Each structure stands twice: as structure tokens, then as C-alpha cells.
Amino acid sequence: MLPMGVYCFGDFELNEESRALRLAGREVEAQPLVFDFLAMLLRNQERALSKDELLETLWPGVTVTEASLQRVASLARSILRQGGIETALRNLPRFGYRIYLDSPAAPENKIVPAGEVSKPSSPGSPILLARAAVAARKWREAAASFAEADATDELLTADLEEWALALECMGRPAEAIPLLARAVTEYGVAGERLRAASPAITLAMIHLERGELAAANGWHKRAAQLIDGATESREHGLWCWMGARIKGAEAEPEHALALAEQAFEVGKQLEDPVVESLGLIYRGFFKLCLGETRSGQEDQDFAAALGLSSDVDPIVGGILYCNILWACRNFGDWARANQWTLSYEGWCRGHGLEELTGSCRLHRAEVLGVHGTLKEAETLVRAALDQLALDAPWATGDALRVLGDIHLAAGDFVEAETAYRASHAAGWDPQPGLALLQLEQGQAEAAFSALERSLVGNRWPTLQRRGMVLATLAKVAARTDRLERAKQVIAELESEPHRWPMASIRALTAEAKAELFMREDRLVEAAWELQTACSRWAEIGSPTSCADARLSLAALLIRLGDRTGAELELGTVLAVAKKVDSPRLMRRYDELKGLLAGAKREALG
């Protein structure tokens, strides 16, 4: 008989007197609060412990929030996962926690079929090595050990999901598909229908990322069948979140928003940070599509902070980051994009994500194209294209659009046009970059027609990029002497400041107004607008766009006879052109420098 204070559960042994926690004879490192948390639950395993009781015992005389307790529980669950019994720790919504050792419980995060919780494993066995690697976020080691354990029939059904997660974190989601399908089948055979819904939802997500909407819909409907009436479950919350994504792909933003709202409410009710943050990030995403910009941004920022400060897995963390960056990119919200990129890079390092997904590479490439050098951005976006072919081929068109934007900024118009055409062929709308290229090529009429077509449709990229396209359209309309259309578009942008609060859209609108004023020979007012545009671009840290506005301002100041002002603007442009390595900016600088010299000679003559 074991002495008091020693608890054996699964392959674990916890000794309160020596404060040691062992798994199959090997000591496991546990933070003091995590050790005490597990000891309390084991000591009182016949009942549930309330949050208040746990908080008072673990932090006597100290005021802490429930988030601290959630973090401790999350770390405890990560330790239990190494022994395949993380499902024994159960979160009781709005009450507290309890540990179940005699029979499997309906868990907060993962569950396994009956009879699998205490399946014994020998020390150093592949399955224990695999689980330890998952806990340490060593995804390559985990995948290799799971494969070895599968060959010797050591896997629990829950291990199939962890194996799939490791493959996803390695950027190989296609290899996870058969494992998740096995999990759905095995959970079903064991009578765990609700648990089977989780891998079915993950399958829907992977197929959607691969652009296979029919397969995504099929697995999503299968998950609904498995969930049945359990509408207050974690699985139902995830099903709503996945439904929002599918409806967004089917150009039904209102329906998508409603489903995202349901997912958020389920996650909030269950105090589940994964479901809550996923529902919230997509609620914000579709609010942005429908014009609720401020509210949508607030939802997304809170969702990212909630998820990245909780123990979410790397795939969920990646979804949060990718989602918020999609929105930032579509709105030209580069300052916000850069802030979240820096936060996410640090988070990745702490979660073993050395190989980023294609979408993450793409986001970083576009941010770098704005804040860094163009050559670095091009290298990164080409790497993203290779990775997207594996994990998110649907976004290939967007990556080609970004590549076109980089070539356009550099002044390589032939390569830019090739990339934009390839983007269009891949099913993506390469606007407004293609229209700006056509302006450079003297095809203003073609640019105007293309931008007008880009405003048609109800797909989420069209809705989110509407502000950028409208502002560019106003500029092109003025350039083609469609002054009334330019005024109409500018009025639409300025009459809804709550919908278009981003500095990039305001900068583009100022540039459009300057173009209009120049057509009306109101040169001084045009100069004011270009100064505003320069300030806006500087505000969000977009040196290339700011340099373009300064070039336009310098040309206008030369016309107005303000040679000193023009020299100042050109001096700043020269510094930017060298920093971002843009031959296009250098060519334009040289042209205006020559024009300025000619103006000086004329004045002296």
C-alpha cells in the first residue's frame, strides 16, 4: 500500500513529501504552482474544487485573476499530455476543476475513448517520447516518434490528433489528413461521437485551406451529425467557427458573421480561450467586411491578445496571426501589421515554429515590402509561394499579387505585369496594384475600367479591399478627366470616416484630391493635399509610398516656383530610394532633379 502523499495515476507518480513528479520512472519538471495544483486535485479527487478554493490555497493572501489559474491548469494539462491522460483534468465552466482517474471525462480540450486513459507504456517507449516531444514543442521529433509508435501499435486515438498537429506545425498538413480520418473512425467505433467531431472539423479546415471547398463542406456536415444536440459543447463552438470560414468562402458575409458570433459566445460560456479567440477573430474579420471597422479591429486585437496569452496550440496561434494580418494588409494598416508581426515572431520562437506556414511567410513578406528592403521582401514572398503550394494553395494568387507590388515599387514593370497576370490567372484580383502599373505604362483608361470591375462582388477580399480600391479609383478617375466620378468617390470615402479610419486610405484619398485639384488648376490646394498624404504615409511607416507622394509634391512645387521646397522633398526621396533599393524611385528622382536644375537656369537667365 502506498504511503500518504504518493499518488499513482496512469504512468505518473506524484510524491508530495519529496515534491517529485515522475512519468514511467523519469522525473518530470513541474513549476511549484503546477505541482501544488495537481497535488490538490489528487488529494481531493472525489470532488470538484472551486476556483475560489484553488486561488486561496495556491496564492494565500495575494489577489490574482482567474487568468493565472487558467495558466497553471494549462501547464498541468501539458504535463499530463506527456502520459496520454490530459483528458483526466476537466474544467467545469463557471465553477472550477476536477481530476478524473477512474473513467474518462468530457474534457475541456481533448478526450480519448473509454479504456485508453491508463494504457501502460514502458520507459523510453516511442509513444512516451512522442508525447514528451509534443509537450516540448519539438514537432519533428514528435512526428518521427509517433510514426515509430504506430508501427508497434502503441497509439491511442488522441495520439493521432497530436501526430496530425505535429505534421501541421511542420507545414505538411496533407499528411495529417489520413491520421485525422482514422481518428474520426476510431472515436466513432468507441462510441465517442462528440469527440469524433473535433478531428472532422480539423479536416474541414485543412481542405478549406487547400481550396477544396466541397471536401471542407462534407467534413463540416459530418461534424454537425456527430455533434447532434450538444450545442453547448466545445465541439459546437469550433463547428460554428469553421462554418463562418466556409460561409465567408461562399461569399455570405452576413451568415459568416452570425456563426462567428455563436462561436465566440460558446467559447465565452465555456471559458475556453481557443474557441473564444477563434470566434472573436472571425467576428472582427467579417465586421470589417461589412463596414464595422472600429468594432472589427477591436475584436481582432482582443482575440489575438487572448489567444497568444493562453496555451493555444501553434495552429490556432497561426490562424489568429494570419487573420489579423489579412485584414491589416487589405486595409493598408501597416503600423498595426508591423506591431502584430513582431509579437507573433516572438510567440513562434517559444512554440517551436521554426518553419512558418506559407500564409505567415506571405504576411511577413508584404510587411517587409513596406518597412524593409524590396529585395528581402521578394526573397521571402518567393519562399512563401513554395510553401503555399503545400498548405494553402488558394492564397497563391494573393502571393503573386504581392510579388507584383514589390516589382512595381522597384520599377521592374515587365516582372510586375507578369506577376499580376499570374495572380489573375490563379483566381485573385491583383488590384489596385495592376491599375497603378497601368498608370505608369500610360494606360489610364484600362486602369479605370479594371478598378470599376474590382468593386463588384461580395467576396471577403473584395469587401475588405474596397477602401484601397476606391481611393485608387478616385485618383485614376481624375487622371482620365472623369472629374465628377472622382468627386463622387472622394465624397463616399470622406462621408464614412468611421469605415475608413486607416491612415493609408486617408493618404490615398488625399493623393486623389490632389490629382483632382491639379486638373482644376488649384495647385496650392493640391500641394496641401500632397503634404497631408506624406504625413499619413510617414505615420504608418510606409517609406516607398511616402517617397512617391514627395515626388509628386516636388514636381508640383517646381511648377509653383518653390525650388527650395522641391529640393527638400527630393533630398528625402533620395535617402529613401537608397534605403529600400528602388531603381524606380532613383529614376524619378533623377528626372525631377534635372527639371529642378533647368528651372534654376531659366530663373537665372
Q: How far apart are CA 543 and CA 532, in angstroms?
A: 15
- Would you say 539 and 504 are in contact if contact means Cβ atoms under 8 Å apart? no
Query: Each residue of 25-35: pLDDT tens digit?
Result: 788 888 888 99
Half-sphere exposure of residue 34, counting CA atoms within 13 Å on the CB side? 17
DSSP per-residue string spanning 299-349: HHHHHHHHHHTTT--HHHHHHHHHHHHHHHHHHT-HHHHHHHHHHHHHHHH
**Lookup result for grid cell 516582372:** 415
Q: How far apart are the first and last CA of the chain?
A: 109
197-221 pLDDT, tens digit per residue, is 999 999 999 999 888 999 999 999 9
Distance CA 14, CA 509 (A): 65
- Tell me how far apart the alpha carbons of residues 14 and 5 are, in angstroms, rounded to a whole number: 8
What is residue 355's predicted lDDT score, i.e. its pLDDT?
A: 58
Q: pLDDT (tens digit, 9 = 90+) per residue, 276-326?
A: 999 999 999 999 989 898 899 899 999 988 887 776 778 888 888 888 888
Computed from CA positions of residues 373, 407, 515, 510, in that sequence, does the dihedral angle turn out positive or negative?
negative
> Which pLDDT belongs to residue 243?
97
Q: How confident is the model at residue 2 (pLDDT cuts 50, 70, 90)?
A: very low
Phi-psi region of 62 (alpha: psi -120 to 50; beta: other; left: phi over 0): beta
Higher pLDDT, 362 or 184: 184
- At 418 the three-state DSSP class reads helix
Cell 499580376 sits on residue: 420
Cell (9 digits) for 527: 500641394
How confident is the model over 454-467, as pLDDT tens digits? 998 888 778 888 88
pLDDT of residue 223: 96
| Residue 238 pLDDT exceeds 70 | yes
Q: What is the pLDDT of residues 159-179, one digit of tens each?
A: 899 999 999 888 888 999 999
167 alpha carbon, distance to own chain's centre: 19
Going by pLDDT thresholds of 50, 70 and 90, the confidence category of residue 141 is very high
Which has the closest alpha carbon to 301: 268, 335, 269? 335
DSSP 347-407: HHHHTT--S--HHHHHHHHHHHHHHS-HHHHHHHHHHHHHHHHHH-GGGHHHHHHHHHHHH
Ramachandran bin of 280, using left for φ above 0, alpha for ψ from -120 to 50, beta for the remaining angles: alpha
Identify the helix (H) or strand (E) that includes residue 106. none
pLDDT in tens, 83-139: 777 778 887 766 888 888 754 333 333 333 433 444 455 657 888 888 888 877 888
Task: Report cis status (omega within 30 of 0) of the bond before 273.
Answer: no
Return the pLDDT at 148.
93
The pLDDT-based confidence of 373 (bands split at 50, 70, 90) is confident
The sheet carrying 12-15 orders its strands as: 6-9, 12-15, 20-23, 26-27
Average pLDDT over the chain, rounded to whole?
85
Contact 558, 599 (CB under 8 A): yes
Question: What number is the average pLDDT over the span 461-479?
Answer: 89
* Strand pairing category for 26-27 and 20-23: antiparallel
Measured distance CA(211)–CA(426) in Å, rounded: 12
Q: Mean pLDDT throughout 235-261? A: 94
**pLDDT score, position 472:** 92
Grouping H, G, I as helix, E, B as strand and the rest as coil, residue 46 is coil
Phi, psi for residue 541 in degrees, rounded to 5: 70, 45
Which of left, alpha, beta for 124 (phi over 0: left; psi -120 to 50: alpha)? left
What pLDDT digit, counting tens, does each position of 485-515 carry? 999 999 999 988 888 888 888 999 999 999 9
Indicate if the pLDDT at residue 343 is higher than 50. yes
The C-alpha atoms of residue 257 and residue 304 are separated, in whole angstroms, by: 18
CA distance 139 to 356: 13
Q: Where are the alpha helices (DSSP H) in 190-252?
A: 193-209, 213-227, 234-249
What percent of the chain shows pLDDT beyond 90? 42
The confidence score (pLDDT) of residue 81 equals: 76
**By the 8 A CB rule, do 509 and 496 touch?**
no
Main-chain dihedrals φ then ψ at residue 282, nearest 5 degrees: -80, -25
Which residue has better confidence, 77 or 299? 299
Weakest-pLDDT range from 80-84, 239-243, 502-506, 585-589: 80-84
In angstroms, the CA 99 to CA 87 distance is 9
- Alpha carbon 532 to its chain's center: 31
Strand partners, 13: 8, 22
Find the Cα–Cα–Cα–Cα dihedral 411, 412, 413, 418, rounded to 10°: -150
- What is the per-residue pLDDT for 227? 93
